[in-house]
Structure formats: C-alpha cells, structure tokens
Amino acid sequence: MTPTAHGPVVDVASERPQGAGRPGSWARRTIYIVLPALNEEASLPSLLHGLRETLDEAAASYRIIVVDDGSEDQTARVAETFKQDMSLRLIRHDANQGLGMALRDGLRAALEEASDRDIIVTMDADDTHTPGLILRMVRMITEGYDVVVASRYHPESRVRGVPLLRRTLSRSASLLMQALFPTPGLRDFTCGYRAYKASVLRAAVGRYRDAFMTQEGFQCMVDILLKLRSMHLVFGEAPLILRYDRKSGKSKMRVWRTMRHTLFLVLRRRCGA
C-alpha cells in the first residue's frame, strides 16, 4: 500500500503476463494495457472479454492493469473476477483522484514490470475503444513509430454516437493544437487510446521525474504528448472506430471545465511554463 496526498493506493498484483513464453511473433514483446476506471461496472466486462479474445487469438503476451479510481460501484469486484482467466493487476484508489492520477499510477505499474522493448497501451475503460485496433497499433510500433495515437481524424476513422457539440469542440481543439504545436504524424492530441514504446515512457519519466504527470483531469492526455513532443520522437496515428453509442451512463468528462483547463495548459506550455 502506497500513501498519496489523496489517501492510500491498494495494489492487488497477480501472475506473470498472459501468453508469456508462448511461441510466435506476437509473444516476443509483452503488451501492457492500462485501464483507468471510474464506475465502469457495466462496461468493463465487455471490454475485458474483447481484449482477451483479440490478444489470445493473436497469441500475444499481455498484461492488463486496471486502476479503479475510487469507484462507488462494483468495478473492482468485476476486475477481480477476470483474474481467473487472464493476467490482470488491480490497483485501487480509496478516493477519486482524477484521470491523470489514475493514469499515472497505471503507467508507473506498467513500467515497473515492462522491459524497454515492451509496449504500453492506454485505453478508456468504458468500452468505446475497440480492442482490435491494438494489434495494428502494436504493429506500427514494431515498424518504427515511438508513439501511436488512435485518431478520430484519420481518413479511415469512424465515430458513432458522439454529440455534435462535443465533436465540434474536439475538432476545434485539434486544429488549435496543430496550429500551436505542429507535430508530424499527429492530429489528435486528446484521445486516450494510445500505444507507446516502454523505453520512450521510461525515458520521459527519467527526464521529467515527478513533473511528467501533474494534471489531474482529462487535459493530462494533451500534456503527455506535449512533453513527449520535445523528445523528437516519431509519432503516428491509427484509424479509430469510436463506439460512443456503446457507452453506459453519462460521460465522466465535464466538457466545459476540461476545455478551460486544457486551454490554460496549452497557453502555459506555449509560453514555456
């Protein structure tokens, strides 16, 4: 148990990665999948089933890391039940700390276990991100990309069920980021579905130390890319099939608050702060 400013973190570890030692090209690297989760009791089973089916069919070596960020439902219990059938590590926050802190603890746990040649994937736990895209993103990493983002703005992308206002705001944010921080291969700065070389994240943590993850809210996704951007990496995008129509319940994102915090963050980074 590790104390934090928001209360203790309970880390329930389990066995080695699923498929470790299995022959085949997909088993030569381990894929660590970090799932920050808040009240995802209804969505998590479908997502975990999809991940298991996709990665087992590919004979991939993988490890799931669920970070239960102070859920008030049975998210943690659901994750525990899947530990019987797949390699899964559960980290629990006693109180909600925000997406940034949940992601921080998940990435930290992945880096504790991963070798430099492994791949770390982050996804939303609400079953709106299709697991099948992981294989394409991992393949792009093995082809030479350092970071791959599942992009809503790739020509082959499809978006289902996202309200028009939110789509308009997201598109405006993308255009603003491209204007202020032009980055070859990168148009979607806010999507949380990503694949990273473990060596890249380890180097970023070594460079920024505790300052690598400081944003508590959804703007943390922008901040991570802005910090990685300064490391002269190779970015790429894969076409996202965003199934927002499968989302259970309301979004956890407070849209206007997130837009305001993201704008302040972008202005600070633009001014070198």
Per-residue model confidence as pLDDT tens digits over 144-180 = 999 999 999 998 988 887 777 777 777 877 888 888 8
Architecture of the structural domain at 2-270 = Alpha-Beta Complex (3.90)
Give 196's strand partners: 120, 147
Sorted by sequence, the CB contacts under 8 Å of residue 106 that are 6+ apart come out as 34, 35, 36, 65, 67, 91, 122
Contact 138, 31 (CB under 8 A): yes
DSSP 17: P
Per-residue model confidence as pLDDT tens digits over 214-252 = 887 778 888 899 999 999 999 999 999 987 777 666 655
Contact 17, 112 (CB under 8 A): no
For residue 141 the two structure tokens come to 């990493």
- How far is CA 210 from its chain centroid? 19
Residue 54's CB: how many other CB atoms inside 10 A? 17
Q: How far apart are CA 80 and CA 131, in angstroms?
A: 20
**Taking the domains of the chain in order of start, what are their residue ranges?**
2-270
For residue 68 the two structure tokens come to 């239960």
Per-residue model confidence as pLDDT tens digits over 96-142 = 999 999 999 999 999 999 999 999 999 999 999 999 999 999 999 99
Q: How far apart are CA 70 and CA 72, in angstroms?
A: 6
Give 190's strand partners: none
Most confident of 171-175, 195-199, 256-260: 195-199
Contact 129, 150 (CB under 8 A): yes
Per-residue model confidence as pLDDT tens digits over 44-87 = 999 999 999 999 999 999 999 999 999 999 999 999 999 989 99
Phi-psi region of 39 (alpha: psi -120 to 50; beta: other; left: phi over 0): left
